[in-house]
Structure formats: C-alpha cells, structure tokens
Chains A and B, each alone.
Chain A
Amino acid sequence: MPNAFAIKNVVKTFDDFQLGPLSLELEPGTVLGYIGPNGSGKTTTMHCLVGLLKADSGGMEVFGRRNDPHHPEWKLDIGYVGDVHAFYESWSAEKNLKFISQFYPNWSDRLAADLAKRFNIPLNKKAKELSGGNRVKLALIAALAHSPKLLLLDEPTSGLDPVVRAEVLDVLFEIVESGERAIFYSTHILSDINRLADELAFLDNGKILQRTAKDDLTERWRKISFRLAGNDFHQLTAVVQQRHEGREHQIISSDFEATLQHLQQLGAEDVQAHRMTIDEIAVQILKGAQHVANS
C-alpha cells in the first residue's frame, strides 16, 4: 500500500525564508505530529501538500498519486483544516456544508449531521456569526464528512478555549483509535499531540531536525541527577544540558541507557533518572537546533 503522503526533496523559497529541502513520508493509519516554533515552516508544508502553494522543486504524492493541481483527484483522499477557515460567510453553516458536499462523491450527510450534533454546532447560523471554536468545528466537519484517508490538521486547536479544545481532541482521538486514517498534525501545543501522535517530526527553520516514534523519544530522554567530583561532563554520551552545585549534578540525556552506562564507568553515586514530558523534550530538541544555528 502506498504512503499516505510522500514529500521528496521539496523546496519552497520566500524572500526571507526557505522550506527544505524537505523529505517526509507518512504511512497509512499513522499519526504524525509536526512540531516546530512559529515561522519554522509547518504551515508552508501543509499549504504545499494541499495545493495552496506550489513548491519550487521536489515532488509530493498522496496515496501514490502526484499532487498535480491539473488532476485534482488526489484531493478526494484529503481532509484539511487549515490556519484560516474560509467559508461563504453570509451563508449558514449547513449551506456551506451542502456546497462543499457537491465535490466529494463519498460525502455522507449523515456523518456531517452526526458530527454537528456531537459538536453542538448551530448549523442554521451564518458562518460569520459563528464563534472561533465553532468555525474550527465547522471546518472539521467539512474535512471529515467525506471520510478522507488522510487528515491534514494545521494547528486546529490554537486559539480555542480549553473546553472546546477538549471536545475537538476527543473527536480526533476517536478517529485515531479507529486506526483507519493517517493524520498529519502540525502544532506547537504539545499536550495535544502527546495524546494523539504515534510519531513526531521536529521542524526548525524549514528543516527537519529529527523524526522519531513518540514512545521511543520518551523512553530515551531522561533528567539524571548524580553525585560525582568534577564538573565537565560534556564528554558524557548524549548529554544535551548540564548543571552542577559542588558534587551534585543534574544533566539531561537524549540516550538514557548510554549515559547511565558511562556514569557507572565514571563511578557516579546516587544516580536518579526522571522521565521527561514531550514538552520538555521538544524544548530541548528545538533549543539545541537554535544553539547550533547561533554558534
């Protein structure tokens, strides 16, 4: 079975920013969290994938079909919730959905109605009268009602209050649990992705720094405290940050097993390792990239 999407050496250049060369693939049924600071290229990647922007070079495929704008059948497999939710503002939510439904043979009015009920969205209201949260929900219904095999979500919960965010995440979690769809989820709200993603890709300044399974990441990264004479532990394997006060040391390791082995060889005492959250790990990875860029 072909990949849900495959991005091959894509480059998109603007006056002050370049995305890529970027290569990224997503297997069917997988949820990939796309993490990066503002301006790192997350939205540009999404725009290229969905055809709102044309890349300068490189190629993209969606379920084995080139994302050729002149043969847009590949878009039938995509559900997209972008950074801007554009609708016919003076039409009701229901009429907007009816308009969109004409373009998707797999569209299910029943699924759309179920989702609207679930989200408690007033379908008779004009799009321009909907709150920010309800606009996101409407965009989600539009993206889901044709049962796409690939969902592209560009920071769908940013700007939402915690209650609405939880509602949206619940629906997304149900979709993830069904395991039928691949989801490419860009965000900088890491708590969202912690619940949903199988894999994480970290992006900074248009380049992918690291891509890894989420569980692997949380298994490998640790905060380690120990007691040992000396204060220069840069030579320690996989240490990304260190602090000390006398003989008391605290380090962050990106490869817990390797660092632990090394510490044991050095004769460290009272070694204690603490798990890190995805937020903490992400900060370290992205900070590391900026440190490299600045040095």
Chain B
Amino acid sequence: MWQILKAEFEYYKTVLLLAYGLALLFLVFALLWLNTGAGALISFTTITYAFACIIVGATHENEKRMRFHSILPVRPVELGMVDVLFVALFHFGMCVLWIAFPLLQTGRLEAPTLPNVFFGFATMQSAIAVFMINVHLRFVGRKNYQWITFAVFITSGAVLGLLHYAGYFSPAMRLLAPWFKSLWGTALMIVIWLGLAALSIVLFARRKSYLV
C-alpha cells in the first residue's frame, strides 16, 4: 500500500507543487499587502485544492489507474485506503498553511483556529468521501445502488428546505455555529469523516468491478 501511495505522490508532484505554490503565493501576498483574515486564504486554498483534485481524478481515470493497481497483488482494502489517504494528506498540507497564516499575521495561534481548521478539513474530506461512496455504490452489486446517495441528498435537501420554510434554519445555525467551532464540534466532524472514509474503503473492497 505504501509503495502505491508513494508512487501517487511522486507521480502527481507537479500538480501538488503547483497547488501548494499558488496557495503559498496567496499567503505571502495576503500577509504583505492584503488586510484580510484567514477566511480568504481558506477559500482560496480550498478552491486550489478542489481544482488539483479534479486534475488528479481525471488523470487517474484516463490512465485507468484502478485497473493497473488492481492487477497487482495488493488487497482492495489497501487500494481503497490509498485513495482516502492521498486526498487527505494533500489537503492536510493546505491546513498547515491555514495554521501558519494567523501565526505569521498576529504572532500567535488564536484559540478557535485549530478547531476551525480541522472542522473545515473534516467537512471537505467528508464531502470527498461521500463522492467516493457514490462512485463505488455503482459497482457493489449487480444493480446500481447510487440511488441511495441521491435519496440521502434529496431527503437532506427537503429537510433543510422545510426547516428554512418554517423559519427554524437560521436560528438553528446561529445556535450551532459556536458549537461547530468548538473542540467537540470539530471532534464530531472528524468522527463523521472517519466513518464515511471507512465506509468508502469497505465499499471499494466490495466492488464487483475494478475496470472503471
């Protein structure tokens, strides 16, 4: 597994270096000339990260990487873990910049910064894990089980819409916002991410086809 993870980082090093380089440039620019908070940096690095992930994902698919790796004597669970670890470790590098920014700007690491960073990290990784789960659901059985993720999305959307319509959404968010930034909120989000990542690994291992 580690050989594959190492190879993936080596193979995509240009894309990764470019993404980190852009993020670093923005950080320096923001520190020297912009009077901005960490929020702008987080948004910029997240967009850069998302673009880099799209490039990596497209190359992965074009070059039939899954097929290539699946022929090797490696357990599917390990291949699933490589996918999860690659995007998480890449993202973690961005998080270091998020932490570095306020540290360089104010000279101290403010109290809510770390939970903020990891809440954002876990949320983004959870979204990626859901995307991976959705892809794997197409191949775990003879039928396409992607309707499960669509059903969850539609149900969530409907519930949120109803809450908004009933006027409960904004007050609920205001109530929950501090909790999201707290240590417990971050811990819960990390647990959710780990659960979703584990599910995506299990589903990968249970795929009936590794051709696409």
Contact = CB atoms under 8 A, between A and B. Distances in A.
A38 B189 CA distance: 50
Contacts of A76: 73
A75 B11 contact: no
A90 B11 contact: yes
A221 interface: no
Contacts of A100: 72
Interface string A6-25: 00000001000000000000
Contacts of A89: 63
Contact of A88 (B63, B142, B205, B208): B63
Interface stretch (B19-27, B74-82, B95-103, B127-135): B74-82
Interface in B101-159: 142
Contact of B7 (A54, A84, A99): A99
Contact of A103 (B74, B205, B207, B209): B74
Contacts of A87: 63, 68
Interface string A70-84: 111101100010101
Contacts of A50: 71
A28 to B, nearest CB: 20
Contact of A69 (B11, B65, B75): B75
B211 interface: yes
A84 B3 CA distance: 23
B72 A91 contact: no
B64 interface: yes
A86 B60 CA distance: 11
A52 B211 contact: yes
Interface in A59-115: 69-73, 75-76, 80, 82, 84, 86-91, 99-100, 102-104
Interface residues of B, number: 23
Contacts of A70: 75-77, 205
Given A52-B70, A86-B67, A72 B209 contact: no
A98 B70 CA distance: 17
B50 to A, nearest CB: 22
Interface string A37-48: 000000000010
Contacts of B11: 88, 90-91
Contacts of A104: 73
A56 B143 CA distance: 12
B90 interface: no
B210 interface: yes
B209 A73 contact: no
Contacts of A84: 64, 67
A51 interface: yes
Contact of B72 (A56, A71, A75): A75
B63 A80 contact: no
Given A52-B209, A53-B211, A72-B72, 8 more contacts: A50-B71, A51-B70, A51-B210, A52-B211, A72-B74, A86-B63, A87-B68, A99-B3
Interface of B: 3, 7, 11, 63-65, 67-68, 70-77, 142, 205, 207-211
